[in-house]
Amino acid sequence: MTSMVQLALEEVRTLADRVLTGAGYSGDHARAISEMLYACQLDDCQSHGLFRLFMCRETMQAGKIDGHVLPELQPSQNAVVRVDAKGAMSLLAVETAMPVLIEKARRFGMAAMAVNNCYHFSALWPEVEQLSAAGLAGLSMVPSHAWVAPAGGTRGTLGTNPLAFSWPRRGKSPFTFDFATSAFARGEIELYLRAGKPLPDGVAVDADGKPTNDPQEALSGAMLTFGGYKGSALSIMIELLAGPLIDDLTSKESLRFADGKGGAPYHGQILLAFDPAHLSCGRVEANDSRAERLFADILDQGARLPSQRRFEARKRNLARGYVEIPATLHRDLHALQD
């Protein structure tokens, strides 16, 4: 059992902020990043919470990121808002363009945000949940590093390419999912390696493209997508929509750009927003009830909706005013500040 330490909610942001500004991020960037880490930590999502501060530092140490440059919004009269992160982390860019995306979705019925030239390390659900909080349905996709083989392939070409979606529910937590299109997250394989456990079948191939259950061989070989050829096709779609469609890098180009230096991958991001008021011809209430009957039918048979555990953690942590983080993480983060 991991020993846990309590951290007051406000302390999560302050701690993150101190580490980030200490690492070389400007106040604006540190605040936008801390906000994301806070959202994840509040939901007990340890893998994408304060733990990611190490990656933020590594990214700075790799020497290419700009910790101070401000994102540039490119004005348009159409349904696409484009924001150039100019070689900084993605989060401030997305935050800057988010109100424009929401306004455009309401004006045009649907809209897209194209984020270019950004480092990206974060969960996608806090961003699509900003869209559902505004009454819109939101979708987001990013490439990553070419660690994942296509179906029938033997080497890394695709990223872990996550897909996140959120649907607004009145007076309730939204319907949200955010999953990697790889069978396992890369971090999960690292956990198996540390625990000395064999991987399940269908997760990875070795450097020769042969199926493997050895986590070390998997890390030097390639991961596989979830769901066989269908998951693979979906992952290729994400490469295209969050890469060439928006004039940004594929996972293979992103891996080459990193040049073995570590830190967060560098690429683009696409977010889509759909306005139910437009698309349902104003019959939002009737269609909300229809969606609720769908959710009820899923829950009635003992199945769960995605993200339920996150929402329960959020409620609990907000009520008690603190989160719990592993004692080792707490110690390592404090060591960073000395």
| Nearest 10 degrees: Cα torsion 325, 331, 337, 338 | 170
CA R_g for the chain: 20
Please list the residues that pair with 323 across neighbouring strands: 7
Is 217 a known active-site residue?
no
Full strand arrangement of the beta sheet holding 110-119: 72-74, 80-89, 110-119, 266-274, 137-141, 163-167, 175-179
3-state helix, strand, coil in the chain (%, to 5): 45, 20, 35
Instruction: Give min distance, CB of 66 to its own copies, in A.
Output: 21
Token pair of 270, please? 């696409």
Please list the residues that pair with 83 across neighbouring strands: 73, 115
Instruction: Give min distance, CB of 253 to its own copies, in A.
Output: 7
Please check whether residue 267 is in contact with residue 251, taking contact to mean a CB–CB distance below 8 angstroms. yes
Of 29, 34, 48, 122, which residue is the catalytic one? 48
Of 35, 58, 103, 188, which residue is the catalytic one? 188
Instruction: Give min distance, CB of 236 to its own copies, in A.
Output: 7
Single out the residue of 124, 122, 119 nearest to residue 69, CA to CA.
Answer: 119
Instruction: Give min distance, CB of 216 to its own copies, in A.
Output: 22
Instruction: Give min distance, CB of 60 to its own copies, in A.
Output: 28
Which of 25/165 has CB closer to its own copies?
165
Please check whether residue 44 is in contact with residue 50, taking contact to mean a CB–CB distance below 8 angstroms. no
Cα within 13 Å of Cα(170), Cβ side? 10
Is 48 a known active-site residue?
yes
Of 11, 47, 289, 334, which residue is the catalytic one? 47
Is 253 a known active-site residue?
no
Cα within 13 Å of Cα(151), Cβ side? 12
Please check whether residue 242 is in contact with residue 140, taking contact to mean a CB–CB distance below 8 angstroms. no
Which of 60/81 has CB closer to its own copies?
81
Cα within 13 Å of Cα(300), Cβ side? 6
Alpha helices (H) in the chain, listed in sequence order = 9-23, 27-42, 53-61, 90-108, 125-133, 186-195, 215-220, 228-241, 251-258, 276-279, 284-300, 308-320, 327-336
Return the number of other C-beta atoms located less than 10 Å from residue 255's C-beta: 22
Instruction: Give min distance, CB of 142 to its own copies, in A.
Output: 15
Instruction: Give min distance, CB of 11 to its own copies, in A.
Output: 33
Round to the nearest angstrom and report the end-to-end CA distance of the chain.
Answer: 28
Residues annotated as catalytic are 47-48, 188
